[in-house]
Structure 1
Amino acid sequence: MAGLTAGPVEGEDLWLWLSRRAWPLWLERGIDWRARAFHESLTLDDHACTATFRRLRVAARQVYSFALARRHGLPRADEAVELGLDFLRRTAAHPDGGYAWRFALDGRVIDSRRDLYDHAFVLLALAAASRVAPPEPLRREALALDDFIEQRLAHASGGYLESLPPALPRRQNPHMHLLEARLAAAEAFGEVRFLRGAEALLNLFLARFLPDGCLAEFYDDDLRPLESPHRAEPGHHSEWLWLLDWQARLSGRPAPAGAVAALRRFLAAHGRDPATGALRDAVWSDGRVIAGGARLWPQTERLKSAALGGDPAEQAEARRVLATYLRPDGLWHERRLAEGGMSPEPAPASSLYHLSCGIAFIAQPDGDARP
């Protein structure tokens, strides 16, 4: 296949890499079929998993990824979706509602906290799975999960707790992914309550998460930014641009022009490393770089915001940069190091969600990355 045997994967081949290399490899090597669970990561040299635990977010994200793969024709991907749903129902479900956070390899719960970020991904998984599995049980589970979030995780100062038991600092990131999940659930199940919940999160974003025209990451218990200047992650700026567009299309109302402009201004001024073209991991809100290097996931989020921005040069660079992280075998380098080389660490399963969502969004005519 052109672009896959030597050098980086070419931008126009991203979809072929995902559908013919990455999805099949993770279906074959990324699942512990005997234990009926997903592997946390795969080593770059022999495609083995060395992790000694399993996480809720990996199970949820892999359900999303394999549901998308099944809809695009990957054989046996529906079996992976069913395996993941079985893990959520039999292993992860907490007797008091919600889902536990971390597990031993034999399925024992080793950390029973209930984490907002991971619960958002369970809701996304249920929405995605409804397109390849019987939808009615998944609709009921999605409604029950949203009830749990509203009744047990709502915070008096607005938004939601980080977890049960509560933890600080509070973050915008779980709220962002809950918005994503509710938009997906609104599309998948046709329930007005998910769209209303998404609108409440949009209002929270506009009121609290853009304190100076730049997205803040960490907050105190009353949702005040912890620092000034504060930490900002360009990848999340890109992700919010995609979500604001999605919210606008579902609601029938225009995206908030001021917020869109602020996010794009910050990305243009401070998001990109001029030496590599990659989106930076984190900077201060005044533009100073916090640390060198660039992880994979911001590059996938940049694909989506660049596609919506309409600048062909930006779109081409986003594709080119992402391609430099990808390996012909279907794995990837998780980060570009500050000195410029690529990290040899195992490829984490959780990043398949970012790759699946970003590449499918730009490759399919209908933007079919959404459940």
Structure 2
Amino acid sequence: MLNSTLLSSQSFLFDGLLKNWSLHGIDTEQGFSYESMTHDWKNNAVGRVRLLTQCRQLYTFSHACQIKNAPEWQAMLTPLFNFITSRYFINERWIFSLNDDLSIKDQQSDAYALAFVLLSFSHYYQLTKDDRALVFMKKTHLFLLDNMQAQSGGFYESYPVDENQIRRQNPHMHLLEGYVAAFEATQDDDYKEAIQSLLSLALEHFYHQETKTLREFFSADWQLDPKIGHQVEPGHHFEWVWLLYRANKIVPNADHTDLAQQLWLTATRHGLAENGGIYNQIDGNSYQAIDKEKRIWPITEYLKAITVMQIGKEEKIDRIEKALDFIQQHYLLPNGRWNEYLNEDNTAKDFPLPGTSSYHIFLGLTEVIAWAKVNTDF
């Protein structure tokens, strides 16, 4: 059963989603990715074209080309890289977004987006050996240290800095992901130091020991935000599980894998809905679901977490089979499309195809396929 599910997942990804986005979601004249697509694969203009979206597409196709020999996809990469560096890197820093006509919209530098500069440029470099990527990665790293680092630890959300803004764990999680990729691509000790710093931050501030939950929203000095500090996302628990095991290969520390196990237990006990799928949000104090809708990305992060968790092979296969079955039944649609949101009862919401979501779908499915190739007869 697992083999057929994996084959259909692989076909959906490479012959459906990636194929159609490359054909319809990329502006061939300018080289950039559209921000959003309709379900009939038409450009769905939303009033902005974000750096984040471009980087997620660059990452996804760069990584996909490392798995599959696809010259037509590889031909897209340098134009996309050139578009990113020429349009978003202004006055030695990254801006947030362009308008639909590609004029400048928002000139803030966003920590979350910078994380995906690191991730995407690392994979682009591994595939193409384009040394320009290394230069921009180093500039990004130094800009974060020089302009966005907070005295209380971690990074501010954006530059110019607003010290009163709510601080989130989420950009730091993706910065960890970006720095892991950067170190794997370069073996640069600067990136290893950043990994260590972000891991320490997670243990010290993001993890709420009393409830064994990962918290999301904080004040400037890392106190829980009084209004929304109780909100917890099971999908981020799973995302951290996968990242903690990845980072542990670079900076071994039992405290990090212990944290991963605690986050796994909390999310599997309280984040999985009885009728399948994963809640968007639960209360970190009562563990009751706050947002019972189910976006696609939390279950793809669950897949990634399953592949690295120290559980038995039979349990892994059982969890993977059930999760993939749920994904194929409720999320994946013909011709490479997908349902972005489900209601509590698993009916699909009417929603276009975000240019940021293929990153989650691609990575979740490819991590499971890679695990199965090593550990089963797939």
Q: Deviations over 1:286-344 (max 9, x none)?
A: 21111221000101101111122332322222212222201121111101023431122
Matched with 1:327 is 333
Q: Deviations over 1:218-271 (max 9, x none)?
A: 000111111487110000000000001001112344462431232022112211
Contact 1:67 1:81 in 2 (8 A): yes
Per the TM alignment, residue 94 of structure 1 is displaced from its structure 2 partner at its CA by: 2.2
Q: Which runs of 5+ in 2 are unaligned?
A: none
Matched with 1:318 is 323
Which one of 172, 175, 186 corresponds to residue 183 of structure 2? 186
Q: Tell me whether 346-355 or 303-312 shows the greater mean CA deviation.
A: 303-312
Matched with 1:55 is 50
CA–CA distance in structure 2, aligned partners of residues 195 and 18 of structure 1: 32
Which one of 71, 83, 97 corresponds to residue 87 of structure 1? 83
Matched with 2:299 is 299
Output the amino acid matched with 2:224. Answer: P
Q: In angstroms, what is the RMSD of aligned CA positions?
A: 2.1
The correspondence of residues 98-247 of structure 1 with structure 2, limited to 5 A, is: 98-167=93-162, 168-212=165-209, 213-227=212-226, 230-247=230-247
4+ aligned runs moved over 6 Å, structure 1:
none
CA–CA distance in structure 2, aligned partners of residues 252 and 219 of structure 1: 28
CA–CA distance in structure 2, aligned partners of residues 130 and 31 of structure 1: 20
Output the amino acid matched with 1:278. Answer: G
Relative to the length of structure 1, the TM-score reads 0.92
Q: Tell me whether 341-350 or 66-75 shows the greater mean CA deviation.
A: 66-75
CA–CA distance in structure 2, aligned partners of residues 86 and 106 of structure 1: 17
Question: Helix, strand or coil: the match of 1:188?
Answer: helix
Matched with 2:263 is 263
Matched with 2:280 is 281
Q: Which runs of 5+ in 1 are unaligned?
A: 4-8
Q: Does 1:73 align with 2:69?
A: yes
Matched with 2:346 is 340
Contact 2:215 2:229 in 1 (8 A): no
Per the TM alignment, residue 191 of structure 1 is displaced from its structure 2 partner at its CA by: 0.8
Output the amino acid matched with 2:180. Answer: L
Relative to the length of structure 2, the TM-score reads 0.90
Output the amino acid matched with 2:335. Answer: D
Question: Helix, strand or coil: the match of 1:207?
Answer: helix
Contact 1:235 1:302 in 2 (8 A): yes
Per the TM alignment, residue 279 of structure 1 is displaced from its structure 2 partner at its CA by: 1.0
Contact 2:5 2:321 in 1 (8 A): no
CA–CA distance in structure 2, aligned partners of residues 46 and 200 of structure 1: 42
- Higher helix proportion, which one? 2
CA–CA distance in structure 2, aligned partners of residues 68 and 49 of structure 1: 25
Query: Identity of paired residues, percent?
Result: 26
Per the TM alignment, residue 85 of structure 1 is displaced from its structure 2 partner at its CA by: 0.9
Q: Tell me whether 63-72 or 305-314 shows the greater mean CA deviation.
A: 305-314
Contact 2:239 2:302 in 1 (8 A): yes
Q: Tell me whether 321-330 or 118-127 shows the greater mean CA deviation.
A: 321-330
Relative CO higher for 1 or 2, CA cutoff 8 Å, sep ≥ 6?
1
Q: Deviations over 1:100-146 (max 9, x none)?
A: 11101232111101100001011111101012223422112111110
Contact 1:278 1:294 in 2 (8 A): yes
CA–CA distance in structure 1, aligned partners of residues 254 and 372 of structure 2: 19
Output the amino acid matched with 1:322. Answer: I
Question: Helix, strand or coil: the match of 1:76?
Answer: helix
